[in-house]
Structure 1
Amino acid sequence: MQYPAEPWHMRGSLVISVFRVPRTLVPQAHLPSNARLISLAGNVFVAVAFVSYEPGSELTYEELLVATPVRDEGGVAVSVPQIWVDSEASRDGGREMWGIPKELARFGEGSSIAAVAVAGGVALPGRWTAGGWTAQRLDGRDVRTRMHMSGRVNLARTAWMFPVNGPLGYLTGRTPLVSCTMKDMRLTFGQRR
């Protein structure tokens, strides 16, 4: 499968919610050998995001991902234990270049992974930016990759549905601590260490 060379310059929108989850429930096989989940009182902050990459991106596709903060090489990074995309090129590129465990999925009504409804929204002023590193382990390789994101953020109310027997069943019944949407998102992902 062909996919674009890194870095990928992406644009689109997303909805993201942060949950508090007992550390023992959070997958850890994706962590590089020296990375550790950051926990507080036995809980990990788990972000779940649904992203739509739109025309103007290296690839156009949809993605559902789980991300956790980790301590890695003396700093803080983000690690992605679970992620699904509806693009073979995205799956192959993410796995081969960055060690991100992308799997193929279909999204929409009847999804066996997750569904989300978004309501309301309070616009935060200006354009927000975030950057840093992902720290991944896949197929015996440790990979660290630089990323940078910016966009217009709205606080929102979300209602997530995670089938109890699905891959995100450990989130079933949990209420997000905070949720937001990002419009006019710009993401640059690539540049490995």
Structure 2
Amino acid sequence: MQYPAEPWHMQGSLVISLFRVPRKLVPDAHLPSTARLITLAGNALVAVAFVSYEPGSELTYEELLVATPVLDEGRVAVSVPQIWVDSEASRDGGREMWGIPKKLARFGEGSSIAAVAVAGGVRLPGRWTAAGWTAQRLDGRDVRTRMRMSGRVSVARSAWLFPAGGPLGYLTGRTPLVSFTMKDMRLTFGQDR
């Protein structure tokens, strides 16, 4: 499968919610040997996001991902233990270039992974920017990748449905601590070679 070379310049929108989850329930096979989940009182912070990458991006597709903050080589990074996309090119590029364990999925009504409904929202002023690193381990290989994202952020209300028997069953019945939407999102992922 062919996919664009890095960096990928993406644009679109997303909804992201933060959950507090007991550390013992959070997958960690994706962590490099030098990384550890950041925890507080035995709990990890787990972010779940649904992203739509729109025309103007290197690839157009949708993805559902789980991300956790980690301490890796003395710096805070993000690690992605679970992620699904509806694009073979995205799956292959993510796995091969960045060690991100992307799997194929179909989204929409009847999804066995997750569903989200978003309501309301209070827009925060200005354009928000976040930059940092991902730290991944896949197929015995540790990979660290630079990323930068910006967009117009709103605090929103979200309701997630995670089927108990699905891959995100450890989130079933949990209420988000906070949820955000981001419109006019710009994401650069990866480095120039």
- 1:120-159 correspondence runs (5 A): 120-159=120-159
- 1:81-92 correspondence runs (5 A): 81-92=81-92
Q: What CA distance in whole angstroms lies between the structure 1 residues aligned with 2:74 and 2:122?
A: 35
- C-alpha offsets along residues 14-45 of structure 1, whole Å, 9 cap, x if unaligned? 00000000000000000001100000000000
User: Please, what is the CA RMSD of the aligned residues?
Assistant: 1.0
Q: What CA distance in whole angstroms lies between the structure 2 residues aligned with 1:92 and 1:132?
A: 23
User: Letter of the aligned partner of 1:90 in structure 2?
Assistant: S
Matched, 1:115 2:121: no
Give the aligned partner of residue 105 of structure 1: 105
User: Letter of the aligned partner of 2:146 in structure 1?
Assistant: R
Contact 1:149/1:188 (8 A) holds in 2: yes
Give the aligned partner of residue 44 of structure 1: 44
- 1:140-179 correspondence runs (5 A): 140-179=140-179
| CA spacing shift, 1:167–1:192, aligned 2, 3 Å | farther
Q: TM-score, normalised by structure 1?
A: 0.99
Runs of 4+ in 1 over 4 A off after TM superposition: none
- C-alpha offsets along residues 88-140 of structure 1, whole Å, 9 cap, x if unaligned? 00000000000000000000000000000000000000000000000000000
Q: What CA distance in whole angstroms lies between the structure 2 residues aligned with 1:191 and 1:144?
A: 10
- C-alpha offsets along residues 60-80 of structure 1, whole Å, 9 cap, x if unaligned? 000000000000000100000
Query: What is the DSSP-based 3-state SS (H/G/I as helix, E as strand, rest coil) of the residue aligned with 1:191?
Result: coil
Unaligned runs of 5+ in 1: none
Q: What CA distance in whole angstroms lies between the structure 2 residues aligned with 1:192 and 1:76?
A: 22
- Identity across aligned pairs (percent)? 89
Matched, 1:19 2:19: yes
Deviation, 1:164, is: 0.1
Query: What is the DSSP-based 3-state SS (H/G/I as helix, E as strand, rest coil) of the residue aligned with 2:156?
Result: strand
- C-alpha offsets along residues 130-166 of structure 1, whole Å, 9 cap, x if unaligned? 0000000000000000000000001000000000000
Deviation, 1:86, is: 0.1
Number of equivalent positions:
193
Q: What CA distance in whole angstroms lies between the structure 2 residues aligned with 1:131 and 1:80?
A: 16
Q: TM-score, normalised by structure 2?
A: 0.99
Query: What is the DSSP-based 3-state SS (H/G/I as helix, E as strand, rest coil) of the residue aligned with 1:176?
Result: coil
- 1:29-68 correspondence runs (5 A): 29-68=29-68
Deviation, 1:192, is: 8.3
